[in-house]
Amino acid sequence: MRPSLRYQRLRDLDVGKAYAHLIKRIVYYPSRHRAHHPPQQRARRCGKRGRNYNNWKCCQLLQGNRFAKFNTAEDDMRGDQSLGQDSPSDEKFRRMIRIFFDVTLRDALEGIEGELERARAWRRALFNAGLAGLDYPVEFGGQALDSGKIAIWFEESNGRIPSEEELFGIGVGMALPVIRDYGSDILKSRFLRPGLAGDEIWCQLYSEPGAGSDLASLATKAIRDGDEWGVTGQKVWTSGAQISQMAILLARTDPHVPKHRGITMFVLPMEQPGVAVRPLRQMTGAAEFNEVFLDEARIPSDWVIGDVNDGWRMAVALLAHERRQTGVASMRNLGRERLWGRVPIPVQQLIELARSKRRTDDPIVRQELSQLWINERIVGYLRGRGDTDPSIGKLWRTRQGQAAAEFAARMAFPASPAWAAADEDAVFFAFQVLNCRGMSLGGGSDEIQKNTIGERLLGLPREPAVDRNVPFSQLTSVRREGS
């Protein structure tokens, strides 16, 4: 298929035509080869190094070379960008990171059992090594490094971060950045350093039974009571609530203004009598999510992020961090024991699966693997771009995760979704097949992401809403009339 035709197929994707131009530049510009060249000739033309090294590796896959290492996009960027381009300061920082992963972290995790214990040991080792909070102020436990150093960290750490880091995803990836950017000095002093060091785990109290995609319709209320706030309501789909010490909470503080204007963002202590956590069992058998009931839960009066009734702006800022994190998460090797989370199956593991099933000689299988590899590289390149709307990355992550799971299902369960109880590989892939459907929901549904892209990037008009300027306390009657 000619590149122009492949580009036309990319334009047909529902991510948006405008973004197809970026995809074209990322995927096709480096390649100077045509499809009519046989794979062997293309491999010779590319060589094993230089600008077209990645094309050579793709040719190796097409030839069914079972000995070729099939890296992720981030692996390639880490290997290519570190060759003679660093300043002395950058080289020193790069060596520091490598020593941390090769020596320090290995010693810190040795002999530690249990997911939570290993997660805390990892964060503590990272913090003590001066590698946590790279872009945080020094006075709050950070390193205040520039973007170049942070890019080096992403290059060197990719594929080497323990999977237990996801226990701190909400805290380090979402809550702490919002506190850093909008919180008072009291909140920064209290929460940034313990969060970066792994002393506290966070959860996110956003969604409610009646406020999912329409988050601004939340009904949980917070009432000022002297030096405290009293909070009453219910939250749902809360990841990690059962192990969290702190939570980012959205609650309504003024029902007499339109729904977006009467919301405040708080920091809620989870370990108190007014907080009850109940697990929600998923079809995978796991219970990653919870519903949380708040009955006069208490919050100190100064634990407000931003201003009172300005919580919607804080919520949007946090959602941007969430979508960026879920959208461009590093696709490291998951490990067969990893039966949780929302990370797509890495292509390397799919290649190993196809080899174990003796399907690598099938041209359709090789073509599917090549496409999955391209998609994985797109997600990887998005991860390295700081100017990409997070909704784009999240859509691509969802697309890749579901496509990878469907491929795994065809390879692992060609006859029926049944397997021997002792087959750990089958258990792993069965979990991924069931788990991937949630990728289009967590962090905002695909429809919400497309609306965001259409309105914010393409400049399309907002969808009509009859309740936009109506006080929240009157919304029930307005919606009845509007329907």
Residues that are catalytic:
322
Cα-based distances in Å from 392 to 39, 172, 387? 32, 21, 11
d(CA 313, CA 439): 25
d(CA 342, CA 438): 8
| Residues facing residue 297 across a β-bridge | 231
CB atoms within 10 A of CB 49: 10
Cα-based distances in Å from 38 to 34, 60, 266, 441? 9, 12, 60, 42
User: CB-hemisphere CA count at 13 Å for 186?
Assistant: 8
Question: Hey, what are 305's tokens?
Answer: 């992020």
Per the document, the length of the chain is: 483
* Residue with the two structure tokens 């959208």: 327
Which residues, at least 6 apart from 196, have a Cβ–Cβ distance to it below 8 Å?
123, 127, 132, 133, 136, 141, 142, 172, 176
Cα-based distances in Å from 224 to 19, 153, 160, 228? 46, 43, 46, 6
- Are 236 and 291 in contact, with CB atoms under 8 Å apart? yes
CB atoms within 10 A of CB 212: 17
Question: Hey, what are 260's tokens?
Answer: 């977006």
How is 178-189 classified by DSSP, letter by letter? Answer: HHHHHS-HHHHH
| Residues facing residue 233 across a β-bridge | 294
- Are 27 and 9 in contact, with CB atoms under 8 Å apart? no
- Are 19 and 392 in contact, with CB atoms under 8 Å apart? yes
| Residues facing residue 278 across a β-bridge | 291
How is 409-421 classified by DSSP, letter by letter? Answer: HHHH-SS-S---T
d(CA 326, CA 345): 14
CB atoms within 10 A of CB 144: 13
